[in-house]
């Protein structure tokens, strides 16, 4: 939404008991940015609670619209 893109979604796959992030499905504009964050969450064995506390700076657009 920060880049005026509202199409798409992200689904996080987690362990039912521990809430550890196992993977994610990400579809939409700039999905590669979100995928990088999900890869880090899986590699660091983060829980969804830990992932929810991470603050991400919005990407700066490299081009102007209109």
For the chain, the domains span 9-52
pLDDT for residue 2: 59
CA distance 37 to 17: 22
| Residue 64 CA from chain centroid, whole number | 24
* Full-model pTM: 0.71
Distances (CA, A) of 21 to 4, 34, 50, 56, 64: 28, 14, 10, 18, 35
pLDDT tens digits, one per residue of 7-28: 889 899 999 999 999 999 999 9
| pLDDT greater than 90 at residue 40 | yes
Provide the mean pLDDT of the chain.
86
């Amino acid at each position: 939404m920060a880049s005026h893109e509202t199409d798409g979604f992200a689904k996080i796959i987690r362990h039912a008991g521990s809430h550890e992030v196992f993977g994610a499905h990400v579809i939409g504009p700039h999905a590669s940015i979100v995928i990088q964050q999900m890869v880090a969450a899986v590699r660091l064995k983060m829980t969804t609670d830990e992932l929810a506390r991470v603050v991400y700076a919005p990407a700066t657009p490299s081009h102007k619209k209109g």
